[in-house]
Amino acid sequence: MQKSDKTVEFSNGTPIVVFEQLCKSYQLGTVELQVLRDIDLTIKDGEYVAIMGPSGSGKSTMLNLLGCLDRPTSGLYSLAGQDISALDDDQLSLIRGARIGFIFQSYNLIQQLNVIENIEVPMYYQGFSEDASAKRARELATLVGLGDRLTHRPTELSGGQQQRVAIARSLANDPLIILADEPTGNLDSESGAEILNILVDLHKKGKTLIVVTHDENIAAHAERIIELFDGQIKRQ
């Protein structure tokens, strides 16, 4: 559909994600916990970035911020030129659905829904028509190699297959960035490699990919590695 215009609009090299002096802190009782401190970061369209770091370094928080699930305490986050910190809950929901594709470690498929219906969920919230979303969901399922399992429930699929459904789902609205949180963390090495291949393929097709991982192997494919330590970028 017309969503593909975006890739034209942001041709390779345009900054998509911009963090400026970004801070995030949580109030834990009386103590203020600084999770992210003064982060400056730019991710360009079409990049493949891996975010690494030990647990507690702020990776999850960064991912939540990138995914517009949370707002920074201070500083600027602009996604494709739009200032995220100023948006309200509904607008954030809209942005999440339209511009961000999530891939989770534990797949996070909805158990009651079959493959097609799971892929349709983001399109449903963007107001796609029934026919259009069904057609696109079928295409995406075929793209990740599940064309013959359209009506299977998540419980009837292997971990690798479930993660492929999740990837198809993340592509549903043709997002600006794909955020993957330990995408191979729950998979055996073979399925993990398959998933990695799909992700690398997506990157080759021009998708912006941000992966949070411990896995050196995944990081090795990335063009850039951002290492977080203690809420700050140690190396990029």
Q: Which residue has the tokens 């992700």?
A: 199
Q: Determine the Cα–Cα distance for residues 208 and 129; give it in Å rounded to an integer.
A: 27
Smallest gap from Cβ 158 to other proteins, in A, equals 20
> Smallest distance, Å, CB 220 to other proteins?
28
Closest CB to other proteins among 41 and 66?
A: 66
Among positive and negative, which fits the CA dihedral 141, 143, 149, 150? positive
CB nearer to other proteins: pick between 64 and 225: 64
> What gap in Å lies between CA 105 and CA 182, rounded to an integer?
5
Q: How far is the CB of 59 from other proteins (least distance, A)?
A: 13
Query: Least distance from C-beta 79 to other proteins, angstroms?
Result: 14
* DSSP output for 88-114: -HHHHHHHHHHHEEEE-TT----TTS-
Pick between residue 105 and residue 224 the one whose CB is nearest to other proteins: 105
Nearer to other proteins, 109 or 226 (CB): 109
The residue ranges that bind other proteins (CB under 8 A) are 64, 67, 69-70, 89-90, 93-94, 96-98, 102, 104, 108-113, 121-122, 124-127, 129-130, 169, 173
Tell me the angle at which helices 159-171 and 115-126 cross, rounded to the nearest 10 degrees.
20
Residue 98 vs 200, nearer CB to other proteins: 98
Pairing of strands 82-83, 74-79: antiparallel
Q: Rounded to the nearest whole angstrom, what is the least distance from the CB of residue 122 to other proteins in the complex?
A: 4
